[in-house]
Amino acid sequence: MKRIASIAIGVSASVLALGTMAAVAGPIMYGSAAASPAAVEPSVMPTVREVSPQVAFDDISELSGDWAIADGSEAGYTVDAVVNGSALTVTGTTDHVTGSATVDHSVLTSATIVVEVASITTDNAVRDAYFRGPALDADDFPTALFTLSSPITLSDDLIAGKPVVVAASGELNLHGVSRAVNVSLTASLENGRLSLAGSVPVSFDDYGIAPIDLGFARVDDKGSIDFILTVSPR
């Protein structure tokens, strides 16, 4: 269960992060011109914290039950841009991620993940303000929501402590637009907690977010959502 829940939650968070990527485009016009042209290595590094309970599982069926996203989870975006002829990579992250999942024996039957769009930040306050306003209209659409649409069967390898790659399908609601998405997640189980990591390619046009092109500043019309989540039993 735990594994499944983690996976589902990870998917949601990742999808939600997509909105952030779009927001980056606008802000770059205002504050990125002064940034270093060297590409910044994307990074979403959650804070490691103790999560209780620390449970050991002997059988995949023992994962059954309700799960929730725990502290230490983060979601973010990565998008490339060109400012004054120089290449620039922008990343944003947030730890304001919540969600829940249900596992029935070895099957993840349902999962939802919510990301607070306005809390996503980068290294540029002007860019972040644009993201919350013109780009994603955070006042009208404060959150991004991912809902699992198809059940996921968990592998016994999780119990054995081996990383497992799982394909998840769901619906992402961002900026008032809902679209079907597919995500490849890498899950692992340790000390009763499920860790999930992945990256999801995204097109801004799919969510009604127009790419920025002002001549001196141009943002790619595609980016990626990056996430690292921790899920624990309720």
CATH number of 102's domain: 2.40.128.110
pLDDT for the residue numbered 53: 47
Beta bridge partners of 179: 172
Q: What are phi and psi of 104, to 5 degrees?
A: -115, 105
Tell me what pLDDT residue 119 has: 94
> What is the separation, in whole angstroms, between the first and last Cα of the chain?
11
Q: Is the residue at 78 inside a domain?
A: yes
Which range marks the domain in which residue 103 is found? 60-233
pLDDT in the model for residue 96: 96
Residues 6 or more apart from 31 whose CB is under 8 A from it?
Answer: 124, 125, 126, 127
73 lies in some domain? yes
In a domain, 161, yes or no: yes
Answer for the pair 197, 166: CB distance below 8 angstroms, yes or no: no
The pLDDT of residue 20? 41
Distance, in Å, from the CA atom of 22 to the CA atom of 191, rounded to the nearest integer, reads: 36
Domain presence at residue 210: yes
Peptide bond preceding 53 in cis form (omega within 30 of 0): yes
Each residue's pLDDT tens digit in the chain (234 positions)? 433 333 333 444 444 444 444 444 444 444 444 443 443 444 444 443 444 445 668 788 888 999 999 999 999 888 898 888 899 898 889 999 999 988 898 888 888 888 898 999 988 888 788 778 888 888 999 998 888 899 988 888 988 889 999 898 988 888 899 999 888 888 888 888 888 887 778 898 898 887 766 677 788 888 887 888 888 998
Question: Is residue 102 assigned to a domain?
Answer: yes
| Residue 178 lies inside a defined structural domain of this protein | yes
pLDDT at 54: 52
Alpha-carbon distances, residue 212 vs 134, 205, 215 (angstroms)? 11, 11, 9
- Please give the torsion angle defined by the CA atoms of residues 188, 63, 10 and 227, in that order, rounded to the nearest 10 degrees: -30
* CA proximity to 11, closest of 211, 157, 151: 151
45 inside domain: no
- Look at the chain and report how many structural domains it folds into: 1
Enter the pTM of the model. 0.73
Asked whether residue 6 is domain-assigned, the answer is: no
Other beta carbons within 10 angstroms of residue 115's beta carbon come to: 32
